[in-house]
Homo-oligomer: A and B are copies of this chain.
Amino acid sequence: MTQANTRATRGRGSPTEEHYVEAIGALEELATPVGTAAIAQSLGLSMPSVSEMLARLSNNGLVSYAPYSGASLTDKGKRLFASLVRRHRLWEVFLNRCLGFGWEEVYPPACELEHATSDAVIEKMAEFLGHPGTCPHGAPIPSADGKWPEKRSRGLSEMQDGHTARIVRVLREDDADCLQFLADRGIVPGASIRVLDIAEFDGTVTLGVEGATRAIGRDVASRLRVGPDQAPA
C-alpha cells in the first residue's frame, strides 16, 4: 500500500539494502571478505553506517559477517546480487539502445531504476530487448534464475606486443570520465585492437585502434578485458 509495504511485498530488501548488496557483490570480485572501509568508500558513507548495516544484513541472512573480519554475501545475498545486476544491466541496455544515452551516462539512472523494478517488469523488459547477454560496457547479464554466463576474457597485460584482440568488456562502469575518454579513442566493446607496446617502466600501453595509435595509462589499461579477435564460431 505504502512504499515500504510495496517493498516488503516484493520480497526484496529496501533500496538501501540493495545498494549495500550491490556494493559488496562488486567488491567481492576483487577480494573477499570485503572490509567495512571499502564498502563505506564505495557507497560514500561513513564506516559506522556500514557497520550498522552489516549487522542488519547479517540478521536478514544476506551477508555473513563477524566483527573485525569483514563481510561476504551468503547464497541468499548472491541471489539478490545477481537479480540486482540483471536489473541494472538490462536498464543500461534500454537506456543506451532505445533512449540514446551514451555508455558513460547510463550507470546512474540504471542504479535508480533497478530498485523500482519488479521481476515482472524486468522480465518483460528482457524480452523486449531480445534477452541481451551483456550491458553496454560488455559486462555479462545474469539469467533470470541467477546464473552467470561463462566469462572467457583476459586482461591487456597478459597480451604480447604485436598481438591483436577484441575489447569485450570495460570495468568501472560508473566512471563516466574514463568511459568518455575511452569512447573518444574508439576503445569500446567489440573494437579490434593491436598491442603495439607495453612499457616496462610504468605500464603505459600503446594500442592500434582502427588505424590510429592510442596510448593509455596502466590504471585505465587494467580496466580493459579482451577476447579473441574473431568472434568464436
Chain A residues packing against B (C-beta within 8 Å):
1-3, 5-6, 15-16, 19, 43-45, 95, 98-101, 108-109, 112-113, 115-118, 120-121, 124-125, 127-128
Contacts and interface: CB of A to CB of B under 8 A. Distances in A.
Interface SS majority for chain A: helix
A16 to B, nearest CB: 7
Which 5 A-B pairs have CB atoms at the shortest separation, nearest pair first? Answer: A1-B44, A99-B124, A116-B116, A112-B116, A113-B116
A149 to B, nearest CB: 24
Which among A44, A113, A127 has the greatest number of chain B C-beta atoms within 10 A?
A: A113
A128 B112 contact: no
Contacts of A109: 117-118, 120-121
B99 A45 contact: no
Contact of A3 (B15, B121, B127): B15
A125 B99 contact: yes
A101 B124 contact: yes
Given A99-B121, A109-B118, A112-B116, A43 B1 contact: yes
